[in-house]
Amino acid sequence: MTLPRSSGTQRALAEVLPAEILSAFDDRFIRSCDLVEEYVHRLAIGVFRDTGLAQACTQPTTVDEAVQRAGLVPAIASVPCSWILRTLAARGWIERVDDTHYRASAIPALDPEELVAAQEAHDPSCLPTYRIAALAAEYYPSVLRGDTTGEDALFAPDHIGTWLEYFSNANPLYAIVNTVGAIAAEHALPADGGTVLELGGGLGSGAEALLARLDTAGNGKSLAAYRFTEIVPAFLRRARKSLPEFRAGRPLSFTWLDIDAPFAKAGIEPGSCSVVYGVNVVHVAKDLAATLAEIRTALQDRGALVLGECIRPFADRPVYVEFIFNLLASFRAPLLVPAWRPNGGFLTPEQWHAALAGHGFERIEILPDIAALRDTYPSFLVAAITAHRA
């Protein structure tokens, strides 16, 4: 099986990426990105059938009409179903009749397991991402029908091991955002180290990457404090256990924190942080403006916010990772702001810039420059966003 490759990708990357991160985006990694995107799109075909959407779309239909005909819960299903219809239409697997109507006729029979085999032969370390996507596909019908929630389905206790493998620096498809974020955070940290507040640290792989980066750079021991925070108690406990090598001689603490609540509830004092750091977390804030205000308050004068994020290259283009996280209410249904937060999930470079500039931040940098890359390689999704308190 051969997938089409984007022409000029390596040349475009070499022109835009700093040398210190260019090596992470080699042919091996790019091939894995191509494979997993194809895998998720093929899973979407199965979900399209299993949820009744295929039958609902035999005649031209809108997303809302398809949801109703398939007997799905609109408040839950509208966003995921819109993603599925737009994705399948973009691939030419169903017809986009006009701006709002879709029709399905001869849906291709494409086996997702071909991609699993191809990935295993190419680089098996990426397979945890496939297992998470398959887990989501399994629960799509029951979540969209309202029989369970995405949170209960995906984060059931017996699935924690699957998430441990996914949110790991041993999984290249996830580790890349930790790598890019750690480089940006190391650059933003003052020469004397200062205090780092990590938001939504999850299972600890982001902290692991950043602390290792600081050690490599020779300034890791100068940190005044590293405050690791997380809202999910099980994740917080796991992170506390998974970072033992960084405890000896390090000011590392672990605290429960909700990014949708005042940071003072977690004991975060105003102006106490040199760097506020988050990997794939701030985009799920219920009210992004309020969360940015809390971050700004926590930062010292000229302190830096550094976010490792999945970026939406184009405003109207679905991102394959959304297939998984569209099942979560916190991901798909934040408070919307038409100018810079028109949808749930991931933001474009322009939307991030507008959100930060409009809420007290300056010297905003997105590394790498997704806007300069997206025409050549529209599947390039990872970047670090750095912004300083104005």
Q: Is there a single domain that holds both residue 37 and residue 127? A: yes
The answer to the question of residue 364 being in a domain is yes
The answer to the question of residue 108 being in a domain is yes
Q: Is there a single domain that holds both residue 34 and residue 149? A: yes
The answer to the question of residue 97 being in a domain is yes
| Angle separating helix axes 288-298 and 349-357, nearest 10 degrees | 60
Query: Tens digit of pLDDT for each residue in 249-259?
Result: 678 899 999 99
Given this model, what pLDDT does residue 244 score? 67
CB-facing half-sphere around the CA of 27: CA atoms within 13 A: 5
Q: Is there a single domain that holds both residue 49 and residue 102? A: yes
Q: Is there a single domain that holds both residue 73 and residue 140? A: yes
The answer to the question of residue 39 being in a domain is yes
Least confident of 13-17, 104-108, 277-281: 13-17
Q: Which of 94, 14, 103, 112 is nearest to 320 (CA)?
A: 112
Given this model, what pLDDT does residue 3 score? 45
Tell me which of 307 and 3 has the higher pLDDT.
307
Q: Is the pLDDT of residue 48 over 80?
A: yes
SS3 178: helix
Query: Tens digit of pLDDT for each residue in 203-228?
Result: 999 999 999 898 887 766 678 899 99
Q: Is there a single domain that holds both residue 239 and residue 184? A: yes
Using the 3D structure, point to which of 111, 139, 166 is the last residue of a domain. 166
Given this model, what pLDDT does residue 246 score? 59
Q: Is there a single domain that holds both residue 50 and residue 126? A: yes
The answer to the question of residue 237 being in a domain is yes
Given this model, what pLDDT does residue 357 score? 98
Q: Is the pLDDT of residue 4 over 90?
A: no
Q: Is the pLDDT of residue 73 over 80?
A: yes
The strand pairing partners of 384, in sequence order, are 308, 367
Given this model, what pLDDT does residue 85 score? 98
The answer to the question of residue 256 being in a domain is yes
Given this model, what pLDDT does residue 388 score? 98
Q: Is there a single domain that holds both residue 111 and residue 134? A: yes
The answer to the question of residue 208 being in a domain is yes
Q: Is there a single domain that holds both residue 128 and residue 186? A: no
Using the 3D structure, point to which of 99, 134, 166 is the last residue of a domain. 166
Q: pLDDT tier at 288 (50, 70, 90 boundaries)? A: very high
Q: What is the distance between the alpha carbons of residues 268 and 383, in angstroms, rounded to a whole number?
A: 27
Global pTM? 0.92
Total domains in the chain come to: 2
Q: Is the pLDDT of residue 248 over 60?
A: no
Q: Is there a single domain that holds both residue 196 and residue 233? A: yes
Using the 3D structure, point to which of 120, 141, 166 is the last residue of a domain. 166
Least confident of 174-178, 201-205, 215-219, 291-295: 215-219
Q: Is the pLDDT of residue 2 over 50?
A: no
Given this model, what pLDDT does residue 1 score? 42
User: Which domain covers residue 48, as residue numbers?
Assistant: 24-166
Q: Is the pLDDT of residue 92 over 90?
A: yes
Q: Is the pLDDT of residue 363 over 80?
A: yes
Q: Which stretches of the chain are DSSP H helices?
A: 9-16, 19-22, 27-50, 53-56, 63-69, 74-90, 113-122, 127-144, 150-154, 160-166, 172-188, 205-217, 233-242, 288-298, 322-325, 329-332, 349-357, 370-373
Given this model, what pLDDT does residue 7 score? 42
Least confident of 45-49, 190-194, 198-202, 353-357: 190-194
Given this model, what pLDDT does residue 53 score? 98
Residue 276 contacts residue 305 (beta carbons within 8 Å): yes
The structure tokens listed for 92 are 């030419």
Give the DSSP H/E element, type plus range, for residue 196: strand 194-199
Q: pLDDT tier at 369 (50, 70, 90 boundaries)? A: confident
CB-facing half-sphere around the CA of 310: CA atoms within 13 A: 18
Percentage of the chain modeled with pLDDT above 70: 94
Mean pLDDT of the chain: 92
Q: Is there a single domain that holds both residue 136 and residue 220? A: no
The answer to the question of residue 32 being in a domain is yes
Q: Is the pLDDT of residue 379 over 80?
A: no
Q: Is there a single domain that holds both residue 201 and residue 113? A: no
Using DSSP bridges, classify how beta strands 95-96 and 252-256 pair: parallel, antiparallel or unpaired.
Answer: unpaired
CATH of the domain at 230: 3.40.50.150
Least confident of 19-28, 141-150, 246-255, 320-329: 246-255
Q: Is there a single domain that holds both residue 158 and residue 191? A: no
Given this model, what pLDDT does residue 339 score? 93
Percentage of the chain modeled with pLDDT above 90: 76
